[in-house]
Amino acid sequence: MRLLTHNVLRCPAKDVTLGYPLMLEILEMEVRETEPNFDFLREQLPSLHWASVLVVAAAVGLQGFPTTYDPALLLDQDFLRAVHNLLIDIHVKTGTLICPESGRRFPIVKGIPSMKLPESEV
């Protein structure tokens, strides 16, 4: 799972109001370095939920990441490169997503998050 995916995942349980951002525990990850597409990042960053970006930054141990989003950051190529590395190049192979409200745990296995719940909970 690329960490960009984390930004759109929510707990689907019917008793959960927001279920977002999911906490992230990483057991195994890999970095697949790619060339940054700065135009793509400049387009996507304003629409990302920044609290979710901070969750994944903390999960991989990234220090010194801006705590709030500022549109001026779109002009900083070093920042864009760091965001690209965080959201695109890092792939979680094994881990767990955790709902901040209910504590429900959703496994990530072979890079695929499973958000499946029993029908009675959805």
Q: What is the CATH number of the domain that holds 53?
A: 2.20.25.10
Peptide bond into 21 cis (omega under 30): yes
13 inside domain: yes
State the pLDDT at residue 70.
94
State the pLDDT at residue 64.
86
Residue 122 has pLDDT above 90, yes or no: no
Range of the domain at 105: 3-116
Q: How many domains would you assign to the chain?
A: 1
For the chain, give the longest Cα–Cα distance. 48
Q: pLDDT tens, 84-103?
A: 999 999 999 999 999 999 99
109 inside domain: yes
121 inside domain: no
63 inside domain: yes
122 inside domain: no
pTM above 0.85, yes or no: yes
- Contact yes or no for 24/92 (Cβ under 8 A): yes
